[in-house]
Amino acid sequence: MANRNTEASTLSDSTTGFSTAPANVAARATDLRALLRHHQYQYYVLDAPEISDAAFDSLFRELQALEAAHPALRTADSPTLRVGGVVADKFEKVEHPAPMLSLANAFGSEDLYAWRERLKRFLPAERHGELSYVVEPKFDGLTVVLRYDHGDFVLGATRGDGQFGEKITDNLRTVRRLPLVIPAGGATTSMHAPLQLIVRGEAYVDKADFEAFNARQSEAGERLYANPRNFAAGSLRQLDSAISAQRPVKLWIYQALVLETEDNAPETHSAMLAYLAQLGLPVCPNLRHFGDDDFDALAAYLAEYGALRATLPYEVDGAVIKVDSLELQELLGFTGKDPRWALAYKYAGEEAVTRLNAIVVNIGRTGVATPNAVLEPVAVGGVIVKAATLHNEDYVRDLDVRVGDQVVIKRAGEVIPKVLRALPELRNGSEAPWQMPSVCPICGEPLVRPPDEAATYCVNSACPEQLVRKVEYFVGRGAMDIEGFGIKQAEAFVELGYIKSLADIYNLPWEKIAALEGYKEKRLDNLRAGIEAGKQRPVARLLTALGIRFVGETVAELLMQHFSSLQALMDAPQEEFSAIHGIGPRIAESVHEFFLLEPNRALVHQLAAYGVRTAEARAPVGAQPLAGKTFVVTGTLPTLSREEAQALIKANGGKVAGSVSKATAYVVLGENAGSKLDKARELGIPTISEEELRALVA
């Protein structure tokens, strides 16, 4: 960081020998706070100091002395409070004004252009010409939320789970770049403070500061941090804010969540960032703006940015592309947990060399035995990697990877570690070739590799590890979607013997579960309600949840459009599956063989006995009132879930599409319909209610 390079002698001289008469003390303290805020802003935000460090320290000590002698003069925004000193027992939870959502990822230009096309599908055609984009770094630090009331910093929190974060206001006060009052800069600005401002930003530590800190820690024999991101997060999650004050944490602000102002609010994201910068908040200058006509240039810039990011003084793990217009952002809305109007562009993961200490075999839900590398821990892209996938027996053989080898690993998509190659030139003769074991490491039953496949399987359907993974898959999204039921419940309930088959999910010993640690009444009620609600999922979801090889959501939908129930599907010959458009011979054989096994048929019957839906209501044979018509379902319907409405349409011969087009016959409309309603109006597509849909079926 630059030194304060200009000696303002008249200013520093004026800090000595002033009158301390009571009438002058309060005014002098006010002047000192304004001067210090101004020079902190010049130094930490603009990197353009106007006075020397000695002059600044003189002003700072003078204010400290005044506040010590007259405690009533100390204000909540005093620069002297940045030294910390507040020790907390724990962090209080605070709710964010809006969910702190994550971003969908893109890993190349193909994903980028596909995102652009999705934007245009969700926007009216006449608004396409308004599209433009802002590209900014995707900072790799700790996400924080800051709140200012009438210009005063009053609350700071971590992102947490996206809905609730940890209150770290006192620790954030120690971050020199964070202005305690806005507009920052003392008397240098004529802007008015907003009535309320809530912003989102990233706390981070420069690479050089991180290395210097770790070097000092190493010399002192103290804890070392793995990467700047962990260091920033750890620094701001100290219960003693005096420790936070000693850490070189910085801040970038990149989004306004709430703005209440008497002035005209900015209408674009780029204008909003400029406004925040004018208020004195630290906004990264490394931003680029592109029109929709320049999208090719945007893609080229992102391709080059992968190399440029290494030259930045701080860590970034990609770039973020946002639609610039705030009005278009609102129109585009959200899909699940992701805003449609923003995208995270990521780059190929970094590589590293480490030792392969062992190869272990993991068993998945379908019985697939997957070899995994146990590695000497190594930092890759800022994360310590200890294990990586080796996919299958052929992959290990083709790479000629041996236990004890030095290997090159990579975080594919910067997430999943993968062994790329061995380094045979570094072998010393102690390395040992690996072979797939002949028996399952979990249950001891034989492992079998079909002659035409690369995968090896544990053939024991009662294998405990398979059962845990099967339960996890059964209750997950895309399958039965049981809220409150995840891998931890699957592992615990299988280990305790409460689940011995998938049907036991609907016959759990609730009195025993209530005695387990962490299962208080509310959590127990939510879990029971989630399981009960899961009974009424469309039958295609149940078919998906059974985990039949090659049968995912799409295949399950195709099969259940043809069959009225799982019983009818179980009784059908293999040839009938093959006759369905979109069902190939491998799928037909897999489904047929699955239901030839009596335990699988018994499972379906047991699920039905527990009240799980295994049949769909169908119109009488020959009566297909919706045949030849395509429907789009949008919004929240009065009594039917979206999936149930879609199942009703399909059961009566209709087709369901995800977006409105000229081929759409009707849009089934619920509350909060969003952009699909606008598209229907634009194309003149008729809209109907749930009641009118039922009338069409009847």
Q: What is the pLDDT of residues 410-465, one digit of tens each?
A: 765 445 688 888 998 889 999 999 999 999 998 888 899 888 777 898 877 678 88
- For residues 32 and 60, give the distance between their C-alpha atoms in angstroms, rounded to a whole number: 8
Least confident of 74-78, 524-528, 632-636: 74-78
Average pLDDT over residues 584-604: 88
Least confident of 322-331, 368-377, 618-627: 618-627
Here the tokens at position 74 are 């100390």
- For residues 182 and 153, give the distance between their C-alpha atoms in angstroms, rounded to a whole number: 8
Report the amino acid identity of residue 17: G
Cα Rg of the chain, angstroms? 31
- Model confidence at 19, pLDDT cuts 50, 70, 90, reads very low
Superfamily of domain 9-81: Helix hairpin bin (1.10.287.610)
The pLDDT score that the predictor gives to residue 305 is 87
- For residues 228 and 14, give the distance between their C-alpha atoms in angstroms, rounded to a whole number: 41
Q: Per CATH, which fold does 351-448 belong to?
A: OB fold (Dihydrolipoamide Acetyltransferase, E2P) (2.40.50)
Q: Domain-by-domain residue ranges, the chain? A: 9-81, 105-345, 351-448, 464-534, 539-609, 630-697
Give residues with Cβ within 8 angstroms of 28, minimum separation 6: 18, 66
Q: Please give the torsion angle defined by the CA atoms of residues 460, 461, 463 and 469, in that order, rounded to the nearest 10 degrees.
A: 140
Specify whether the CB–CB gap between 176 and 37 falls below 8 A.
Answer: no
The pLDDT score that the predictor gives to residue 188 is 44
Same fold, 464-534 and 630-697: no
- Model confidence at 16, pLDDT cuts 50, 70, 90, reads very low
Specify whether the CB–CB gap between 441 and 435 falls below 8 A.
Answer: no
Whether 138 is catalytic: yes
Task: Phi first, then psi: give them for residue 691, nearest 5 degrees.
Answer: -60, -40
Share of the chain above pLDDT 70, in %: 88
Report the amino acid identity of residue 168: I
- For residues 403 and 429, give the distance between their C-alpha atoms in angstroms, rounded to a whole number: 11
- For residues 379 and 352, give the distance between their C-alpha atoms in angstroms, rounded to a whole number: 7
- For residues 129 and 286, give the distance between their C-alpha atoms in angstroms, rounded to a whole number: 26
DSSP string, 272-318: HHHHHHHTT----S--EEEEGGGHHHHHHHHHHHHHHGGGSSS-EEE
State the DSSP H helix or E strand holding residue 445, giving kind and residue range, or none if neither. none
Q: Does the model's pTM come out above 0.85?
A: no
- Model confidence at 618, pLDDT cuts 50, 70, 90, reads low
Specify whether the CB–CB gap between 314 and 138 falls below 8 A.
Answer: no
Q: Which of 101-110, 605-614, 617-626 has the highest mean pLDDT?
A: 605-614
Q: Is the pLDDT of residue 386 over 70?
A: yes
DSSP string, 329-380: HHHH-EETTEETTEEEE--PPPEEEEEEEEEEEEE-TT-EEEEEEEEEEEEE
Q: Residue 364: which region, alpha, beta or left (left: phi > 0; alpha: psi -120 to 50)?
A: beta
Q: Is the pLDDT of residue 69 over 70?
A: yes
- For residues 102 and 415, give the distance between their C-alpha atoms in angstroms, rounded to a whole number: 15
**H helix count then E strand count, the chain:** 25, 24
* Chain mean pLDDT for the chain: 84
- Among all chains, which residue has been given the structure tokens 């989004």? 255
Which CATH code of 3.40.190.10, 3.40.50.10190, 3.90.420.10, 3.90.226.10 fits the domain covering 630-697? 3.40.50.10190
Q: Per CATH, which fold does 105-345 belong to?
A: D-amino Acid Aminotransferase; Chain A, domain 1 (3.30.470)
Average pLDDT over residues 166-183: 90
- For residues 85 and 81, give the distance between their C-alpha atoms in angstroms, rounded to a whole number: 8
Specify whether the CB–CB gap between 453 and 441 falls below 8 A.
Answer: no
Q: Per CATH, which fold does 464-534 belong to?
A: DNA polymerase; domain 1 (1.10.150)
- The one catalytic residue among 90, 138, 470, 500: 138
Domain 539-609 CATH class label: mainly alpha
- For residues 588 and 592, give the distance between their C-alpha atoms in angstroms, rounded to a whole number: 6
Here the tokens at position 10 are 């008249």
Least confident of 70-79, 284-293, 415-424, 678-687: 70-79
- For residues 116 and 307, give the distance between their C-alpha atoms in angstroms, rounded to a whole number: 24
Average pLDDT over residues 553-579: 88
Q: Is the pLDDT of residue 232 over 60?
A: yes
Count of CB atoms situated within 10 Å of the CB of 1? 12
Selection from 117, 280, 104 nearest residue 183 by Cα: 280
